[in-house]
Structure 1
């Protein structure tokens, strides 16, 4: 694993031609791997891979329309910015494992640079490229904190998040400062135009789903498009309006734009980094003061890091039926699962949440926990099916957080309390007593 301390730019160019493969890091700012690539190559080709649609074992496509549209917006701005720097973004209709080795050979590229993603399928992509004889430099950069700065090794990661957080805060570990975007980038190689024409994405960008005025994250609105500029504007307005001072009190609400930070979609595609959020939050606290709510944003960013560290420690085990537990493999009821996906369980709060999810690609954190608990404990279904459905629906799908949260609810992660079963009627009483949310999505 490479860490930030390995990313000091070198003046000497090691590669005549290199490829930078964008994955979940769709930004130029705070992208150390990209800076490293630019410092070590005389010419550079920037690539994003649109793999063919895959179907899950549960029978539905993996990439939903919401996430696909959000990523398309991020890629469009990324392309514009690379054009301004004298380069381009090549989008290809191929998986990374199939397309990149062939593209590298045609370009005579001697290395591929990318971020490291510590999830099984993403690791398999890198392994396949290396097996094809291509040099791959993968850099860990998606966490807020650098693993090298932690007061424990990955193998010593505490099994309870609270203990992990306490050790980090006691050691006063802070994130590295975000690095700037490159001032200049290497040009395209001379032979690139003809080669790129053959590889250029042949399918049209994803159709924009119709907007819904009820959405808590209307990502077709210009304010919420998937690119880095929109992410920065949202971050700044959120802090300028001092919403960070009320976050802890509002974060469990069920609907609306301002009850939570809404940073997660941009974090998920990499248009915004956790370190950029942390830096802006610290500047806000320096000017306006810290309080329990602004601290809670740091707290949630630490939870995000914790799920990443769990992947570094356990890897494939997190994707097995048992997870990290000794529980028997889960049962599954396909008919009940289908009703859950369609919002047809007969439990109004759950159905309203599932309809919102499918319609808008977004769901409050409180409802994500409620519907996940209901699927596992009330309907007796496999937690992995629920995790896959969230992957297919969420505009802010993140492989680490999605898997980590489903394991947490199912009691198959590291948490000692053996899962989280939510009493739906209590949740109704606490969060939708007057029925506002249920009426919003189910009607009268």
Structure 2
């Protein structure tokens, strides 16, 4: 009798989840687990938690949706809270765990968790599955991938790589083992309301993505992606992608089908192009690992010192620069910010206010509903000149950005009124 655990991490879905399907095929009984880690709610060195209200609500909604789907297949989701090793040791005392299956996350903290479990004698089967492209099919070893995105893209396109074919959800799930796990408090979805336009869960993701393609919004993606107001200017897939409520491969497959039906165009290509950027930031972790999390990043230059008074002005939207203040207030009040505004406010913090880029990155981790460890780190390194960009940083001219993206002041009026 083989008893396995499936440890859900940033893959809160049943469709296109190869690791979960693998666990279902291999085990006689299977315990699906999600672990809440208390360290995310503890204060960082900068005085705020790592997970804020909006992402927490979205996560709770996503877990409720996942639990509902598991129950329909005769299984369940066991939510537990605590240190990773302690939790699995307690589970091991109640059931004979054969293997712990999970997705592979190539960020330092998540890799350390798996290494800790293996060091304690647990058998871990971690499968890489969060990229659009199949890592094994790339035209180069990940450890030797091109540093420059353009070179990375050109090699991918030369080999005509588009996406990793998604797989279906399992038709059945092995029965649950008999176990007594102390329950933790799970939020009631009817009380989860914080004004966000996003609702967590795989079924919400599917409905939103279907609607996006039905309305033929890929056609206008390139023209509208740098706008600041509204739901339709960009895809808004990122909250569901970040929690793994949908996969990048499944979106890319829908995009390919869309092009077959309606014809290829610049908008559809740019949507794929942005998903490729997402992959690029992921794959860089295989090459550089912990170095991406150093204060100096991949550079030799020291970072700016942290100034708490300046940080408070920036993070609360009280810098005196109207576009920056509007952006930071939108972030604080919605948990979301357009990609263009993310770059502008990050640049302002680093270059105009001489702020510590890691503090800015941590603030985004706390505030963003769509926080993704790879993309957040990659984008902040890119702006700060601490990553692979040979130009060494991306300072933005705020006056020009204001004229280009909010010439009539509508965005500023919306958030500064």
The two structures have a TM-score, normalised by structure 1, of: 0.91
Match status 1:124 vs 2:112? yes
Match in the other structure for 2:411:
437
Match in the other structure for 2:390:
416
Q: What is the correspondence of 1:50-65 to structure 2 with a 5 Å cutoff?
A: 50-52=36-38, 53-65=41-53
- Secondary structure of the residue aligned to 1:45 is strand
8 Å contact 1:377–1:421 — kept in the other structure? yes
- Secondary structure of the residue aligned to 1:246 is helix
Q: What is the correspondence of 1:278-427 to structure 2 with a 5 Å cutoff?
A: 278-427=252-401
Distance across 1 between alignment mates of 2:116 and 2:122 = 9
Distance across 1 between alignment mates of 2:69 and 2:186 = 22
8 Å contact 2:60–2:186 — kept in the other structure? no
- Secondary structure of the residue aligned to 1:110 is strand
Match in the other structure for 1:201:
184
CA distances 1:262-300 after superposition (whole Å, capped 9, x unpaired): 000000000010011001001111011111111001100
Post-superposition offset of 1:329: 3.2
Q: What is the correspondence of 1:173-192 to structure 2 with a 5 Å cutoff?
A: 173-189=161-177, 191-192=178-179
- Secondary structure of the residue aligned to 2:4 is strand
8 Å contact 1:42–1:187 — kept in the other structure? yes
The two structures have a TM-score, normalised by structure 2, of: 0.97
Distance across 2 between alignment mates of 1:230 and 1:438 = 31
**Match for 2:89 among 90, 97, 101?**
101
Distance across 2 between alignment mates of 1:267 and 1:391 = 15
Segments of structure 2 that go 5 or more residues without pairing to the other structure are none
Post-superposition offset of 1:208: 2.7
After TM superposition, the runs of 4+ consecutive aligned structure 1 residues lying more than 6 A away are none
Segments of structure 1 that go 5 or more residues without pairing to the other structure are 1-14, 212-216, 220-224
Distance across 2 between alignment mates of 1:276 and 1:204 = 29
**Match for 1:210 among 194, 203, 208?**
194
**Match for 2:10 among 7, 21, 24?**
24
Distance across 2 between alignment mates of 1:311 and 1:411 = 17
Post-superposition offset of 1:129: 1.6
Distance across 2 between alignment mates of 1:95 and 1:355 = 34
8 Å contact 1:104–1:110 — kept in the other structure? no
Post-superposition offset of 1:203: 5.7
Post-superposition offset of 1:205: 5.7
- Secondary structure of the residue aligned to 2:386 is coil
Match status 1:39 vs 2:25? yes
Distance across 2 between alignment mates of 1:230 and 1:35 = 21
CA distances 1:87-125 after superposition (whole Å, capped 9, x unpaired): 100001223233123213322212111001011111111
Q: What is the correspondence of 1:65-84 to structure 2 with a 5 Å cutoff?
A: 65-84=53-72
8 Å contact 1:65–1:209 — kept in the other structure? no
- Secondary structure of the residue aligned to 2:32 is strand
